[in-house]
Every structure is written in C-alpha cells, then in structure tokens.
Amino acid sequence: MARLHIFDMDGTLLPGTSASMEIARRIDRVSEFRELDAALVHGEIDSYDYARRAYRMWSALTEHHVAGAFAEAPWLTGIREVWADITARGDHCAVISLSPDFFVTRLRTWGVHHARASVFPAFPFAPGAVLDPSGVLMPESKVAIADELCAHYGVGRADCVAYGDSLSDTKLFGVVPVSVAVNGDDHVSGLATHAYTGGDLREAYALVTDS
C-alpha cells in the first residue's frame, strides 16, 4: 500500500520561522508580527483572527515581496530530494499549512504533490476588503484535508506519515500511526513516534524509511 507523507511548513520545513515572519522582514513589519505571533501562542486570538490582522498589514503586499521572502527563507535542506524519493517510491506527499496560499503553493515547483493552505485574495489586495473566514485553515483542518487526500489516493489514515513541530500539528499527530517531530516543541514531543533535531529533511525522512 502506498503511503501519504504530510508536511507542516511553518517551524517544520521553515525551522524557527514562518511565512508571515519572512514576509514581515521584506515589508519592515517584524515587530508587529512578533506581537501577533505571541497573541496566537498565548491563545489570545485564533487562526482566523491572526489571518485577518495579517491581511490588514499586508495591504501593500506585492508579488515581488512574496517571491523574495520565499527565495530567501531559511528552508531545511533536502526538501526537493525527499519529495523526489517519495514520488519514485510510488508514494504521495502534501504540505498542509495554516499560512497563506500565495506563499505555500510555491512549494509545488519543488515537487510536492499537493500544497493546501489558507486562501487569500489575489494581489493586489482591495483596500478595506474583508478576508473570507471559510478559506482560513484551523489546526483541525489538517485532519479534514488529510482525509480528503486519503480518499483521493485510495489510502487510509493508517497509511499516513505526518511531520510537524508544534501545537497546530497535534490534531493530525493524534490520528495517524507514524509521525515525526521535526525540531518539535513540547506539544508534539509526547505524541510523535519519531523525533528529529537538525537542518536536513532527508535525515528526518530516513527515520520512517530506514527503520
């Protein structure tokens, strides 16, 4: 039976940072996004509140900003190689992230089969526009999307491997049999079947392919 490998992005493929923070560096809004991140971590806001406030701060965002942030972000090494190996084995891979789709979907060019994320309008953002809450992913959305992808590929949760680092990954880690905490925090360390600390996705992937 084929396997479905599901990867988180913020903090996982992007160790120690997020799409929002990398974009913030490009538009000189780092302090504001640090405050926003802290509010989310402390439970003062939820994922939709975060996305809505970020959307307001991205009012002047351009394709140039996002492309630069993506290109210069501190990605784990070996991402393309891992996804190429998954494909060569006849397995499947996906990224499911709460971050904006205009950043996450760029990973498709690196070989991931599916990239699912919170849906934002196309650039340029209309002044005063309100973000549609139905397009914003929550942590539990990862489970629903994983089930959708399982149905698409004719596999089950028992055939899934999840890779993540933090609280937003706990729902998915709780329903799949194999999971890898990649530079993980206390939220996932007790749930994951494997743990990896380092900067190379190939080494984390080897924990579930070489065992």
- Is the pLDDT assigned to residue 129 strictly greater than 90? no
Mean pLDDT score, 127-152: 93
Q: In 3D, which of 32, 78, 80, 75 has the Cα closest to residue 54? A: 32
Average pLDDT, the chain: 95
Average pLDDT over every residue of 7-17? 97
Q: What is the pLDDT of residue 197?
A: 96
The more confidently predicted of residues 3 and 129 is: 3
CB 79 within 8 A of CB 200: no
Q: Is the pLDDT of residue 57 over 80?
A: yes
Task: Find out whether 56 and 83 touch, Cβ atoms under 8 Å.
Answer: no
- List the single range of 2-6, 22-26, 184-188 with lowest mean pLDDT: 184-188
Closest CA to 200 of 22, 15, 18: 15
CB atoms within 10 A of CB 28: 8
* CATH 3.40.50.1000 assigned to 4-15+74-209: yes
Separation of alpha carbons 146 and 57, rounded Å: 30
Strand order in the sheet with 160-164: 114-118, 92-100, 4-7, 160-164, 178-182, 194-196
- In whole angstroms, what is the distance from residue 81 CA to residue 113 CA? 14
Task: Give the C-alpha separation, 44 to 183, whole Å.
Answer: 25
For residues 167-186, give the mean pLDDT. Answer: 95
This prediction has a pTM of 0.96
